[in-house]
Structure 1
Amino acid sequence: MLTHLTLINFALADNLAIDIDQGFNVLTGETGAGKSLLLDALSACLGDRTDTNYVRYGAEKADVTAIFNYQHESAEAKWLQAHEMEDDTGEIHLRRVIFATGRSKAWINGRPSSLSELKELGRLLVQLYSQHSQQQLLEPPYPKHWLDRYSNFQKTAQDVRDAYAVWQKNIRQHQAALDAQATRLQRIETLELQLEELEDVVQIHYKDIEQEFDRLSHHEHIMQDCGYSLNVLDESEQNISQEISSIIRRLESHAGRSEQLSEIYNSLLNAQSELEDATANLRQFIDRQSFDPERMEQLNSQLEVFHRLARKYRTQPEELKTEYERWQQELEKLHQLEDPETLAEQVEISHQIFLERAEHLDQIRREAAIPLAKQLTEQVKPLALPEAYFEFKFEPLEQVSSEGLSSIQLLFTANKGIPAQPLARVASGGELSRIALVMQVMNAEKTESEVLVFDEIDVGISGGTAEIVGRLLAGLAKHVQILCITHQAQVAAQSDQHLLVKKLQTDPASSTIVELEEDQRILELARMTGGVEISETTLQHAKQLRQLKFQNSH
């Protein structure tokens, strides 16, 4: 659960630290006091988008920390372990710093983290329900998703979506095979002819024969230049080898007299050695050379074949081998392609698997829909809707989809004797807000999150209806921790902890959040009931609301 929040230079908060209790916690305050302060700070710690408006005027940055405790076998504990962020204290510290420049940084248990990591962990810790949630009821997929979530059908529904995806993939592959069948055999024949034509050529390395042909073409010139070079190096009367030997002998006697002369002497010794090696290699090269006209003619023929095929296939001679290998791979793939008949069998098999899963999902949805609609009816009736009635309407889809075999509508009527019709068509705004509230509370009973946040979801209700909403939330808070921003005294009176947001007349303006003692709670409930002027009547009414809380808890 959430145990502590610290806000430094966050929006209207200068330096604010607040402890949060287990159970049902409400946050109230006058309009403009900043009731969303705590919720915005918590959302920032959970990875939501932020902007520079969160940085207090005149400050360089806003700094927010949220502390949660958790059970060692919980989903969040496993997440921390997987990301190597465990803490021996059994706490989770989420910190977010927002800079006036627009940048932000995040930490989980002191370790720098990404916003995606904050969001992943945040979804395990906190579930948020807002006053805008009633709009979801008007979206066509909502009844089906709500039914699946409440009845724990999400995995079964995902299995249906997966089976549908496999079926559609097989359909596409089968159609592709049908489209390709006409050209497949023709392409195989073409590739086989091309590969046969290149089979002998690609055994020869083009660069090697090109170089050999060039050498034979210039044989006479090469031998003349090599002979001249060997003569100058080693065979003439005053050759380079003799001259360098004479220089070395002259410098040898002086090498010990100068460090620089010694280096020159050693360099000349190395040069002499290199010249001797080069001379030996040159003599060996000359001895091995011979001109072979037949070989030259053979090379010329091979090169002509390379150039002819390169022109034919519009590539470079040295790239023919690469083309050959590419054609081989294409031919192998064409041979490996399954025929349309085999793929048609796979389409039928995957279709049957999808139908079996979809029919099972449709059946369990229909079975769960009747008691769920009855439960929803009973939960809504106390909220000033005594004749409320709900039912789920299943209609077969003209074309099945990844969501199943049927469309699902939630039908509603608020009046006895009037047939139920689609909720979006007949429910008023006030009725929608009450229905949304009950559906959210029912969903919350199934959530794995230990912290539920309700942001002004009681808008549009009042009086006895608000009191019943308060009881609903108080009952839910026996199992999970609840934070609720509310304008309704009847809801706030049912809470275990009452936090008041107060605007302070500082410069610049600031807000603070204080925990109210029992006497202070009575005054705040009276203000919420009667306005700024608190009379004895509103005080008595506030006390009665608190007494109802204690009566309901026993």
Structure 2
Amino acid sequence: MLTHLTLINFALAKHLALDIASGFNVLTGETGAGKSLLLDALSACLGERTDAGLVRFGTEKADVTAVFSCKKNSPEAIWLNQKELDDDSGEIHLRRVIFATGRSKAWVNGRPTSLTELKELGRLLVQLYSQHSQQQLLAPPYPKQWLDHVHQFAQPAQAVRQAYTLWQKTIRQHQDALAAQTSRQQRIEQLEIQIEELETISEKNYSEIEQEFDRFSHHEAIMQDTAYGLNVLDEDEQNITQTLASVVKRLEAHAGRSNELQDIYISLSNAQSEINDAALAIRQFIDKQSFNPERMEQLNHELEVFHRLARKYRTQPEQLKMQYLSDQKQLDALLQQEDPTTLATLVTELEADFFEKARHLDKIRQEAAPRLAQQLTAQIKTLALPEAYFEFKFEPLEQANTEGLSNIQLLFTANKGIPAQPLAKVASGGELSRIALVMQVMNAERTEAEMIVFDEIDVGISGGTAEIVGRLLSKLAQHVQILCITHQAQVAAQSDQHLFVQKQQTDPASSTIFQLNEEQCIHELARMTGGIEINQTTLQHAKQLRALKFQTQK
């Protein structure tokens, strides 16, 4: 439930803080005063699209915060927990900052969030109906969607869509498998031959083989040069090791007398250690070397295999292992592909599964439709349409689709003795607005959102009809918080909290919204019914309208 809304430099609002009560809230005001201000601010906090035009003239940014109460284990509480955006306050704080450049930022409970996430959360918190909602009635899918929503058929309808999608996907896979069957088998045979041939070298390292062969090829030169190096370093009469040791010994006696000599002594000592290690390593290398003609011949053969296969597959010898792994991966993928026979069986099974689910959905829709049409008829008759009648018409589709087996139309007649026809053909604008209103109220009774906003949905009705609409909304507000922007005094008179928007001709102009007390409420109802001039007659009529609410409650 929305409890508080704060607007800073938002459109005509300079700084506006507003508490919203539970129950039935109405917002009224003169044309152009800014009744959409509250709705636009709330929409911004719910992740809807914004633009720089919402930033108050002369300022750099607009800042809007909406505070909602949050019950444990509610859909919004579960969503917050999943996104790690919850806290222990029992409230949800939504904030949106819109900059004059057009960009915006959003926060949930003080933590940055994306507009996508903000919109997801917004749909759980608030359901919005506008004065243009009646146009939805004329869209072909709407009767079916409305029937599914009111009777909570979303799950079986989704199961039908998923079953149909999987069935059609498998049909395409089967067709592709049939088309590719010959080429697939040829490719499998080709890969098996390649893999068998490359497998002989798959566990060998070309670089290591090449290096070992090169070492055998230059064995004699290597032995001569390493022996020469060992002699110079450690075995000749005037070898480097002995000469360097003599130099280090002489400098050691003077190292403490000069920093420069100390550094030189250290460097030569390190060099002496490195040379000793190198001489030892050469000696060990020489001791391990032996020439093996048979091993050299084996290495030569392996290199020839590498080079032959590299020429055959038009790659480098060191890339043959990658070629082997790639071929193996392709073969595994082809072998895992189901053959056309298996897929054909699966297509048959999925087709049966789809039609089973679709027939079940069609059955429960046809069973529920007459009761829903009767409920709609009964509600509409109270809105100055005493002879109204509705029925759902189910027509089998030529070809089943994701929505099931039948096309569903909502038929209507407003006149006794006249057969019901498709709504779009026979309903007038005024009738459509009343039908839309009742259908939305019936929708709202099934919503999980704890707040519903009606934006001037009572356009096109007046008098006693508007009074009945007000009673409908007041009754609905016993279960869910309602905010209704209205021009109808009969609707506003049924409110639990009356909010009034007023424009002030400051520089620049600004609007404010405040809660009316009972006396102010009567005065505003009189203005709505009587126009600019308010007299005792209009005030008395306003009091009578207001009294009807309390009589109804009794």
TM more than 0.5? yes
Q: Which moved more, 1:145-154 or 1:128-137?
A: 128-137
Unaligned runs of 5+ in 2: none
Structure 2 Cα separation of the partners of residues 117 and 200 of structure 1: 55
Say if 2:187 is the partner of 1:187. Answer: yes
Tell me what 1:478 maps to.
478
Q: Which moved more, 1:401-410 or 1:184-193?
A: 184-193
Structure 1 Cα separation of the partners of residues 204 and 120 of structure 2: 59
Tell me what 2:132 maps to.
132
Structure 2 Cα separation of the partners of residues 178 and 407 of structure 1: 34
Please show how residues 202-213 of structure 1 align to structure 2 within 5 Å. Answer: 202-213=202-213
Say if 2:310 is the partner of 1:315. Answer: no
Tell me what 1:384 maps to.
384
In the alignment, residue 30 of structure 1 is paired with which amino acid? E
1:289–1:88 CA distance, 2 compared to 1 (3 A): closer
Say if 2:75 is the partner of 1:75. Answer: yes
Deviation, 1:297, is 4.5
Structure 2 Cα separation of the partners of residues 70 and 331 of structure 1: 55
Please show how residues 424-463 of structure 1 align to structure 2 within 5 Å. Answer: 424-463=424-463
Q: Which moved more, 1:113-122 or 1:22-31?
A: 113-122
SS of the counterpart of 2:410?
Answer: strand
The C-alpha deviation readout for 1:12-45, integer Å capped at 9, x for no partner, is 1122222222221111111110001111111122
Please show how residues 132-211 of structure 1 align to structure 2 within 5 Å. Answer: 132-211=132-211
TM-align CA RMSD: 2.2
Structure 1 Cα separation of the partners of residues 19 and 196 of structure 2: 82
In the alignment, residue 318 of structure 1 is paired with which amino acid? E
1:197–1:275 CA distance, 2 compared to 1 (3 A): same
The C-alpha deviation readout for 1:54-106, integer Å capped at 9, x for no partner, is 22222232222222223334223333444444454433332223233334333
1:367–1:318 CA distance, 2 compared to 1 (3 A): same
Tell me what 1:410 maps to.
410
Deviation, 1:170, is 2.5
Tell me what 1:116 maps to.
116
Q: Which moved more, 1:331-340 or 1:383-392?
A: 331-340
Please show how residues 28-427 of structure 1 align to structure 2 within 5 Å. Answer: 28-291=28-291, 295-427=295-427
Structure 1 Cα separation of the partners of residues 403 and 423 of structure 2: 21
Deviation, 1:475, is 1.4
Structure 2 Cα separation of the partners of residues 332 and 125 of structure 1: 50
Deviation, 1:517, is 2.3
Structure 2 Cα separation of the partners of residues 513 and 468 of structure 1: 27
Q: Which moved more, 1:62-71 or 1:504-513?
A: 62-71
Deviation, 1:484, is 0.4
Q: Which moved more, 1:386-395 or 1:265-274?
A: 265-274
Tell me what 2:17 maps to.
17
SS of the counterpart of 1:149?
Answer: helix
The C-alpha deviation readout for 1:105-151, integer Å capped at 9, x for no partner, is 33333334333333232222211111111111111111111000000
In the alignment, residue 109 of structure 1 is paired with which amino acid? N
Tell me what 2:468 maps to.
468
The C-alpha deviation readout for 1:327-358, integer Å capped at 9, x for no partner, is 22333333343332222222222221111111
Structure 2 Cα separation of the partners of residues 66 and 230 of structure 1: 85
1:69–1:214 CA distance, 2 compared to 1 (3 A): same
In the alignment, residue 475 of structure 2 is paired with which amino acid? G
Unaligned runs of 5+ in 1: none
Tell me what 2:511 maps to.
511
1:304–1:72 CA distance, 2 compared to 1 (3 A): closer
Deviation, 1:545, is 2.0
Of all paired residues, the percent bearing the same amino acid is 73
Deviation, 1:497, is 1.6
1:204–1:119 CA distance, 2 compared to 1 (3 A): closer
In the alignment, residue 431 of structure 2 is paired with which amino acid? E
Structure 2 Cα separation of the partners of residues 80 and 183 of structure 1: 52
Deviation, 1:156, is 1.2
Structure 2 Cα separation of the partners of residues 22 and 299 of structure 1: 88
The C-alpha deviation readout for 1:455-514, integer Å capped at 9, x for no partner, is 011112222222221121111112211110011112112212211111112111111112
In the alignment, residue 390 of structure 1 is paired with which amino acid? F
1:220–1:180 CA distance, 2 compared to 1 (3 A): same
Tell me what 1:528 maps to.
528
In the alignment, residue 234 of structure 1 is paired with which amino acid? D
Tell me what 2:542 maps to.
542
Structure 2 Cα separation of the partners of residues 282 and 383 of structure 1: 107
SS of the counterpart of 1:66?
Answer: strand
The C-alpha deviation readout for 1:205-239, integer Å capped at 9, x for no partner, is 21122112323333444344334333322344432
Structure 1 Cα separation of the partners of residues 192 and 68 of structure 2: 69
In the alignment, residue 477 of structure 2 is paired with which amino acid? A
Structure 2 Cα separation of the partners of residues 83 and 333 of structure 1: 37
The C-alpha deviation readout for 1:429-474, integer Å capped at 9, x for no partner, is 2221111111001101111112111001111222222222112111
Structure 1 Cα separation of the partners of residues 94 and 314 of structure 2: 63
SS of the counterpart of 1:200?
Answer: helix
The C-alpha deviation readout for 1:312-339, integer Å capped at 9, x for no partner, is 1121111112211222233333334333
Deviation, 1:198, is 2.2
Deviation, 1:296, is 4.2
Q: How many residues align?
A: 554
Structure 1 Cα separation of the partners of residues 337 and 116 of structure 2: 41
SS of the counterpart of 2:361?
Answer: helix
Deviation, 1:172, is 2.8
Query: TM-score, structure 2 length as denominator?
Result: 0.94
